[in-house]
A and B are shown apart, each in its own frame.
Chain A
Amino acid sequence: MSLVTTLLDFLPEILLLAGALLVFLVDALGLRRIEVVGSIAVVTILLALLFVFADLGFAPVAFLAAIPPGQIDVFPPAGSTPLYWFTSLGLFFQTFFLLAAFLVALASMSRPSRERGAAVFYGLILLATLGMMLVAVASDLIFLLIAIEVVSIPSYLLVAYTRRDTRSMEAAMKFFIVGALSTVLSFFGASFLYGAYGTTNLFVLASGSAIANGAAGGGGFPLLVVIGYSLLIAGLAFKITLVPFHAWAVDVYDGAPDDVSAFLAGGTKKIGLFAFFLVFLGPVLFAKVAFQWFGGIGPVSFGPVLQVLLSILAVVTMSVGNVLALMQKSMKRMLAYSSISQAGYMLIGVAIGTAPALTGASLQVFAHVFMKSGAFLVVAAAAGLGVGPLIADWRGLGQKRPWLSAAFALMLLSLAGMPLTVGFVSKFVLFSAAIEAQGYFVWLAVAGLLNSALSVFYYGRVLKVIYFDSPAAAPAVPAPEGASPAASGAAAGPDHTPTAPLALGGLGYARAATIAIVAIVIVVLGIYPGPLLQPLAAAAQHFIRLGL
């Protein structure tokens, strides 16, 4: 295919790149105002979103599609080892990533207009998003890993971009070291797989041919493959913060600037999951050749073994994340731990490796993008209003800031999986999938559900602090917005969403709008998820059939 069509295929990515360059250019020209760079970023992301939607063939914009539908979800020609491949699930994940970037970019526009490094912030966001987009279309292991690097390196810098704050600098340092270590591990693993298969193409890897005739041709036990995949798990687990590869995440989310935390937790984290889809679904599904293991165990095939490993990781992750979140004093660390446990839920989808499970996991990712970035953005907003970092500092916010608190309560309830929120739907679908798979996966569902029940405890504790405790005298807050009874009303209403006019008292229009969008999405898709779920399920079906 000609270069032009290739470039056309990557229209959204190119847009992002252009946007990033434009931001840096504008910055170089001295137009440092956040309104300018911010709006550039937002517009770029929206355009990219538009084209991805078009590629997905959504009705109103389908005519803009750059990728002919015939190229999506089709098998690659035999013997070909494409670097990238378009799957509708991948495109869906691109939309998720773009949405995360969009929320953060929009919300950040209500930061001080003359703030230093705004351009750096937006440029890096766009670059990281570019990397995430590439992850979503990778069909070659090295391509994937490098794309992940394209995400990681800007993230390191994002954490540290203020350059003045010790905490964020320390966070960046930790992030960098652990990240580099896991990069090493992943590439090392990739090299083993290359050794075993002679290629790093994921379609080939998925076929499990090397397992079939043993590593390095000889037959017998494919040590290279097993070791390689183990190393890859260790490397990629760093991204989706599986326990025990999670330790960095808490400190980083805590130390990074709030908006960046939102981006990391809501956005970049998710590429790890899609990487898991790409790398491990293949063996899970196709590596069905049984052989003897050490200690004469077996014959057992590699797929089930991988499933058991992933299941164990999932359960450990969700449990440890929840338990650690129970007693957290700091709001951001609590959210960080909760996002770790959420990663555990998502991993269930990979471990089961059925289309339903994939649907559930993807929906969970989508829900998490909104809930978690939303939550962190609220934290940022609260910080802007003078609320301290500790949970205790939020005392009585429900009376001072009814609408903001309502939105936050809504996000927490959604994280806890309470009904009428998208979190409920995603958990419901995910765990239904686990039970639908039967076998020991039912126990994954039980573990997940009990964990979410446990999580209710700490979310409930935050709600208690916000609503039931009397306001602390300490933080001098601007006059409560909507002091009118009408506004003070819906404090407790789980189904109430902030609306534009109340973005007063130092909240900022952009931030308020973002939070409003998040809340609305959470409720709307919680009540009527069909439009999203239908195509997502189809996409997952195709993805499985493709066997990547």
Chain B
Amino acid sequence: MSVPWISITLASLVVGTVATFLAGRSARWVALATSIVFLIEIGLMFWGYSWPGLLNGIPQFAYSETHAWISIGWLNINYTVGVDGISLVLILLTGILQIATVLYSWKEEKRPNAWFGLVLLTCLGCFGVFVALDILFFFLFWEAVLVPMFFIIGYWGGPNRRYAAIKFFVYTHVASVVMLVGLLALAFYSHAASLDFSSVYAAEPALAGVVPAFLFVALFFGFGVKFPIVPFHTWLPDAHVEAPTGGSVLLAGLLLKLGGYGLIRWGIEVIPNGFHTDQPILFVIAFVSIVWGSVLSLSQRDLKRMVAYSSINHMGIVLLAIALNSELGLVAALFLMFAHGIVSALLFMTAGSTHDIFRTRDIPSIGGAASVTPRLATAMMIGSLASLGLPALISFPAEFTALLATWQALAYWVLIPLIVLVVTAGFYIWMMQRLLFGPTKGIPNSVHDIASLEVVAMGILIAVTVLFGVLPNLLVHWIVMSPVGVWPL
């Protein structure tokens, strides 16, 4: 492709972010403009997209660019970017969540310019991770996401925000340095010509013996903590509970996806040998995460905490689908990542609004919300039903195919996630029964339904949820235009 769309998009995002920081009171408008431009650019990217396919065994990328950044003999680093179906859907997710977050937190009064700037910065980092095709730039963006999120949680967060922010920062940073060691070792042990994806990909077969397995473990630890996988998940509930609503939206919607994306792009694509060796570990962890996340959600009183644990459950299914190493599984995993991004964002928005309206997120202490705040209740119902995999909503095709792929690979093991589906349904339905239905209780005097802008934000997400739930092929069509479509490589 001649037009360097990706660099243009990156540039526009950077400009927008900086402008937002400097914009003062009018920051929200700048942020909105940036998000709209971003969406348009994404649209153009989709419009002109066609997958170049494999070139002598190495997956190629659309809109790819390469410019030398550092080249000192032993260390060759290029600014290499490009997209394929895998990244495209996640970029779309980024765009949607960015504008939704900006709209949702439109009324932010505390340092608006910093707030919107950090929101844009987070999305910028995620976009970078999705397009970077070089170890350094991948890691650079990967880390760059932490800093704004640290400030978002720590400055706009809840009562215990300081602890949560630092815990999030350090915990995920430790994971990413382990990942970095893995990536660098991958490059240097295989004597790759440069740190580019393609050269590392081409050099990987040179790795001998148990090295690939160890490298994969290192990478998997890095990605897994982002997922998050049990038992390395405890940063997530704290971060979510303390984070402001917008922060939770980005955290659950985007940051968790980085792990999945990394695992696909830099894990199983690049180190298939290591992956095959470690596959059993992945299965075990996936099953544990699925069960643990769901069971724990059942016992939570705090709405946000409940949704956070349900994210662990869903990302467990994603991990399972990825670990299956089948085409259907990967499609399902990517679809489910997209779906979970949208749905969990919606749920966190409703949770945030619940907190704004009822001054608490403690499920048992609220009741009959449906009769006083019908719009919020509707959004929450749609979110919950989508999350528990109701047909015609976005999660269903993903979970259906994921579990089908699981049956194909693991036969009766599929019963574990299936049974857990009941538990998942259980805690959502129970939550709705306690929070939305029944006689009203714990309703403050001055109760107001969600404001129109929040309705717009949630409306966008709901629209996406229904659209791709009814016509999933719209998304699958793009996902399979990637190595996934010709899996296994």
Binding site for B on A (CB under 8 A): 355-356, 359, 413, 418-420, 424, 428-429, 431-433, 435-436, 438, 442, 445-446, 449-450, 452-454, 456-457, 460-461, 463-464, 467-469, 484-486, 488-496, 528-530, 533-534, 537-538, 541
Contact = CB atoms under 8 A, between A and B. Distances in A.
A265 to B, nearest CB: 24
Contacts of A488: 24, 111
A449 B143 contact: no
24 contacts: A356-B72, A413-B147, A418-B147, A420-B140, A424-B140, A435-B181, A435-B184, A435-B185, A445-B181, A449-B178, A449-B181, A453-B177, A456-B170, A460-B169, A460-B170, A461-B166, A463-B151, A464-B154, A489-B23, A490-B117, A492-B151, A530-B68, A530-B70, A534-B72
Given A420-B140, A467-B151, A467-B154, A489 B21 contact: yes
A456 B169 contact: yes
Contacts of A456: 169-170, 173
Contacts of A484: 24
Given A420-B144, A436-B188, A428 B174 contact: no
A463 to B, nearest CB: 8
A529 B70 contact: yes
B161 A489 contact: no
B78 to A, nearest CB: 11
B165 interface: yes
B311 to A, nearest CB: 24
Given A467-B155, A492-B114, A431 B166 contact: no
Interface in B145-198: 146-148, 150-151, 154-155, 161-162, 165-166, 169-170, 173-174, 177-178, 180-181, 184-185, 188-189
B74 interface: yes
A177 to B, nearest CB: 38
B170 A457 contact: yes
Nearest to B73: A537
A445 B71 CA distance: 21
B275 interface: no
A506 to B, nearest CB: 24
B162 A468 contact: yes
A468 B165 contact: yes
Interface in B399-449: none
Contact of A419 (B114, B144, B165): B144
B22 A489 contact: yes
B111 A356 contact: no
A442 B117 contact: no
Contacts of B165: 460, 464, 468
Nearest to A538: B72
B173 A429 contact: no
A418 B189 contact: no
| Most B CB within 10 A of own CB, among A432, A435, A463, A485 | A432
Contacts of A452: 177
Contact of A446 (B69, B72, B181, B189): B181
B75 interface: yes
Nearest to B69: A530
A446 B155 CA distance: 32
Contacts of A359: 72
Contacts of B155: 467-468, 492
A55 to B, nearest CB: 21
A457 B114 contact: no
A436 B188 CA distance: 5
A64 to B, nearest CB: 27
Interface of B: 18, 21-25, 27, 68-75, 111, 113-114, 117-118, 121, 136, 139-141, 143-144, 146-148, 150-151, 154-155, 161-162, 165-166, 169-170, 173-174, 177-178, 180-181, 184-185, 188-189
Nearest to B136: A428
A432 B188 contact: yes
A319 to B, nearest CB: 15
B114 A460 contact: no
Contacts of B18: 493, 495
B24 A450 contact: no
Contact of A457 (B23, B69, B72, B166): B166
Contacts of B184: 431-432, 435-436, 445
B453 to A, nearest CB: 22
B199 to A, nearest CB: 15
A485 B25 contact: yes
Given A424-B140, A428-B139, 6 more contacts: A420-B144, A453-B170, A468-B154, A489-B22, A489-B114, A530-B68
Given A456-B170, A461-B166, A496-B21, A491 B177 contact: no
Contacts of B144: 418-420
Contacts of A469: 162
Contacts, number: 141
B457 to A, nearest CB: 23
Contacts of A486: 22, 24
A420 B121 CA distance: 13
A464 B162 contact: yes
Contacts of A442: 181, 185
Contact of B72 (A424, A431, A537): A537
A432 B136 CA distance: 10
Contacts of B25: 485
A492 B150 CA distance: 10
Nearest to B168: A460
A429 B73 CA distance: 12
B74 A436 contact: yes
Contact of A493 (B21, B23, B166, B173): B21
A449 B150 contact: no
B74 A356 contact: yes
B322 to A, nearest CB: 26
A424 B70 contact: no
Nearest to B27: A489
Contact of B177 (A429, A435, A449, A492): A449
Contacts of B148: 492, 494
A492 B189 contact: no
A528 B148 CA distance: 21
A537 B139 CA distance: 22
B327 to A, nearest CB: 34
A493 B148 CA distance: 8
| 10 closest cross-chain pairs (CB), A and B | A485-B24, A537-B72, A449-B177, A419-B140, A489-B113, A453-B174, A492-B151, A468-B154, A435-B184, A436-B188
A62 B335 CA distance: 59
B173 A453 contact: yes
A399 to B, nearest CB: 9
A89 to B, nearest CB: 14
Contacts of B174: 450, 453
Nearest to B113: A489
Nearest to B163: A464
A489 B24 contact: yes
A355 B189 CA distance: 18
A452 B174 CA distance: 9
B211 to A, nearest CB: 11
Contacts of A468: 154-155, 161-162, 165
A491 B24 CA distance: 11
Contacts of B73: 537, 541
Contact of A356 (B75, B150, B151): B75
Contacts of A436: 74-75, 184, 188
